[in-house]
Every structure is written in structure tokens, then in C-alpha cells.
Amino acid sequence: MFDGFQTSDIDVGDARIHVRHGGEGQPLVLLHGHPRTGATWHRVAPLLVRQGFTVVVPDLRGYGRSTAPDPRPDHAQASKRAMAGDILSVMRTLGHDRFDLVGHDRGSYAAFRLAMDHPEAVHRVALLDCIPIVEHLDRITPEFATAWYHWFFFAQPHIPERVIGADPDAWYGGDLEAMGAENFAERRAAVHRPEVVVGMLEDYRAGLTVDRADEEADRAARRRLTMPLLVLWSLRDDLEQLFGDPVAIWRGWAEDVRGRGIDSSHHVAEDAPGPLAEALTSFFHP
């Protein structure tokens, strides 16, 4: 995977962020979701390098080979604001003060927070398979609670660690061929480390507490994304079925929104790397 890329472990203060980076040209950050690592982008990143990007692929704090502080009662160590600060520090360490940004799944919330808090650093942003956390919570239905039960299960203290730790392979599953052997092996190694499982669960606990509060404060202050926003979603996932048009929802949070669905399962970077890379290139290289 990631032929020609370098790897670095960058100290950001209270965590160490593992990052792959390669290519030359316009800097572009790719943020993964749960329970993946940066390796989920292994089919997309080389395509973007060929299109003239410098591609930076971190593991989010608490995921993969990145570290995270011990959990705090308020879960702020796993907040999207903390994750956003990590990415800003990583990019400055690599010599990039302004960059384009992509987030998928949980990584989309870190990307959203980074773009909201640091518009001077983010040129354009693409958010994949997500709407704001508070928009999810405003639309709770039995169908949502059933399909996305993991949001609320992961928020419980102690129990999820015990359940997942009993058999991480059974819990997370995954298709080796669909993911790619090295990506699968990296994900599998990560979820067998108890501290990674805790870090990933803390991400969700922060989502329903401190991250929710941050979004509520944004909405009360009428803060909006000021840079162009691309919203993409997987047509063989359930985001649109549960919540309607994601672009319409994001228009309440951004001044310049465009988007469309992609024929893919949820893990779009693995399932539809060509169409995804094409959509991102068209947006970031208008």
C-alpha cells in the first residue's frame, strides 16, 4: 500500500499522530472513519497523487497507530476539536498552512470541526457519508435508532469494551478481498489492541456530549462554513433513506454546498475508489 509515500509519527502535544504522506502539488488531507485507519484510502490516495496532489493520510487520534490521552470524564480528549487541532499541527509540521480536506464517517466530523474553527487553513472541504451530529439527533426515529444503534451502545460506560474485546474479529468482521489484504490486516491489528478500542469508543462518547455541545453552540451563533463544501454519500448505504437529501441539510451549515450520491457501499474509498477520486479531483481542481 501507499507506494512512494513516507510515514511519520508527529507529536502534537497530548498525542502522537501516525501519518502517511506523498506526492507533489496542492496539499490534500484524507480523514478516515470508524473502525478504519488511514489505510482505508490505499486505493484512492495514489489516484490523487497522479492528479497532482500532495496527499496526507493520518490515523485519527485513538485509531490505528496514533495515540490518545487517557479518557476524561467529559470525553474532551476525544473531541472533534482535539482531532482538528491534531490535523492542523500535522499539516503545519509538514509545511502546509492552507490545504484541502476530506473526511469520511467519523473523520467527517473532525474535518467539519477543523473547517469551522480554522477557515483560514482550509481551502475547500469534502464531507462523505455524514450530516452534523445534531441534525442526526434532531431526527431520531425508531428506524434511525435501530440502524445506528451503535452510536448509543458505544456511548455506554465499560460494556462496549467488554463486548468488543471478547471477539474483535466477530464484532468488526470485514471482507479481506473487498478491503485489500494489507488494509484488512492493519485494521485487524488495530482492533485487537484494547487501547484502540477504548479510543474509538471515546470518539462516539465525545460525539454525543462535547461535540454535540460544540455544534449546538455553532447553530446558536449561526456560524457557517465559508469555504466551498462538497457533500458525497454512498447510495448503497442508508443516509439518504433515513434523512433525505444531505445537500439540503448541509445548506443550513454552509454558504456554498454541492453534492451527489456515489454508487457504493458505506466504505466508499475501498468500494468505489475511481468514482470517488474523480469527484474529489473535479471539486479540488475546478
Q: Looking at 59, 86, 100, 105, which residue is catalytic?
A: 105
> Would you give the distance in Å from CA 59 to the centre of its chain?
9
Give the N- to C-terminal CA distance of the chain in Å, as an integer: 28
Domain ranges (residues) in the chain: 6-284
How far apart CA 207 and CA 32 sit, in angstroms, is 16
Identify the pLDDT of residue 200: 98
Helix %, strand %, coil % for the chain, to 5? 50, 20, 35
Closest CA to 118 of 78, 94, 88, 89: 88
Q: Could you confirm whether 271 is annotated as catalytic? A: no
Give the up-direction half-sphere exposure of residue 17: CA atoms within 13 A in the CB hemisphere.
Answer: 28
How far apart CA 215 and CA 13 sit, in angstroms, is 25
Q: Looking at 34, 118, 123, 266, which residue is catalytic?
A: 266
How far apart CA 260 and CA 245 sit, in angstroms, is 9
Which pTM was predicted?
Answer: 0.98
Q: CA torsion 223→145→39→177, rounded to 10°?
A: -150
Sequence-distant (6+) residues with CB within 8 A of 184 are 174, 175, 176
Pairing of the two strands 16-23 and 53-58: antiparallel
Count CB-CB contacts under 10 A for residue 209.
17
Closest CA to 281 of 45, 80, 66, 38: 45
How far apart CA 106 and CA 40 sit, in angstroms, is 13
In the CATH scheme, what is the homologous superfamily, with its name and number, of domain 6-284? Alpha/Beta hydrolase fold, catalytic domain (3.40.50.1820)
Query: DSSP E strands: which ranges in the chain?
Result: 6-11, 16-23, 26-31, 53-58, 99-104, 122-128, 229-234, 257-262
Cα 166 to Cα 159, 201, 260, distances in angstroms: 11, 15, 39
At 227 the three-state DSSP class reads: coil
Q: Residue-wise pLDDT tens for the chain (286 aa)?
A: 999 999 999 999 999 999 999 999 999 999 999 999 999 999 999 999 999 999 999 999 999 999 999 999 999 999 999 999 999 999 999 999 999 999 999 999 999 999 999 999 999 999 999 999 999 999 999 999 999 999 999 999 999 999 999 999 999 999 999 999 999 999 999 999 999 999 999 999 999 999 999 999 999 999 999 999 999 999 999 999 999 999 999 999 999 999 999 999 999 999 999 999 999 999 998 6
Q: Could you confirm whether 175 is annotated as catalytic? A: no
